Amino acid sequence: MLRLGVNIDHVATLRQARYRGLDHGEPCPVEAVRQAEAAGAHGITAHLREDRRHILDRDIWAIRNAVQTRLNFEMANTPEMIDIALRLKPEAVCLVPENRAEVTTEGGLDVVGQANAIAGAAATLGQASIEVSLFIDPDPAQIEATAGTGSPFIELHTGAYAEAHSDEAKRASELERLAKSAELAKSLGIGVNAGHGLNYKNTRGIFAVPHLNELNIGHSIVSRAVTVGLGQAVREMLGLMDGYPPAG
C-alpha cells in the first residue's frame, strides 16, 4: 500500500499571511493534523525552517502532541535542528536543503558534497530511533552517496516530473529517471519515498515508479481544501493513490 504523508506547512503559511508576529491566528495547523488523520492520512509532514516562515516552534511541539499516526519532521542539517529533533522525537526526519530566497524547497540535497556531515546526522538521529530520509534529486550519484551515509530512506524530488506534466516526451523522460533511481535505491537496500509538486492531475502518473513506500504531498491538498475542505481533499488524494503498485 502506498502511504500518504500530508504536509501541513501551507496551513501555517496562510495563517502567517495575516497573523505573523502574533501568538494566535487561523487556520490552525493542529486542527489540520486532526482532520487529515481522520480522513485517512498515514502520516503528517511539517518543516520547521531556520527562518520560521510558516511552521513555528510552538506549532511543531503542538503537532508532535497531536499526531496519532507518524510525524515526518523536515529540517535542514544544522546543530539547532538536530537538537530539536532529538527532543521532539518524531518517527521520521527528512533532511532537506534550505535557501532563504525560495518559496518552498527547490532541488535536492547535495549528498555527494556533504556526505560526512549527513552521515554524522544520520548516525545521531538513528541512535535515537528516528528514521532518516534524504530529499534528493533522481540522480544515481546522489543515491550511491546516500548508501554511504547510512540513511535508510530517500525521498525522490518529483518537481521536474511535475513541471513537465504538459510535455508528454519530457514527462516520460522524467518518469524514467525516477523509475531508474528507485530501482537503484532498492538494489542498494534504500527505501524510497517521493514528493514535491504532486497534485490531483499528476499523482496517478507516479505509478510508473516502482518500490515507493510513501508520497508526501502538501500544497495541492491544502489548495484543494479551500474549496472542498481538508478531509475531502485528503480522501480524494487517497483515492488517486489507491491501486499502487498497478497489476501486471
The closest alpha carbon to 120, from 74, 78, 63, belongs to 78
Helix (H), strand (E) at residue 46: strand 43-47
Look at the block and give the residue holding cell 524514467: 176
DSSP per position, 174-238: HHHHHHHHHHHHHHTT-EEEEESS--TTTTGGGGGS-SEEEEEE-HHHHHHHHHH-HHHHHHHHH
**C-beta of residue 70 within 8 angstroms of C-beta of residue 80:** no
- Residue 88 cell numbers, joined: 521532539
- Residue 219 cell numbers, joined: 500544497
Indicate which residues carry an active-site annotation: 47, 74, 196
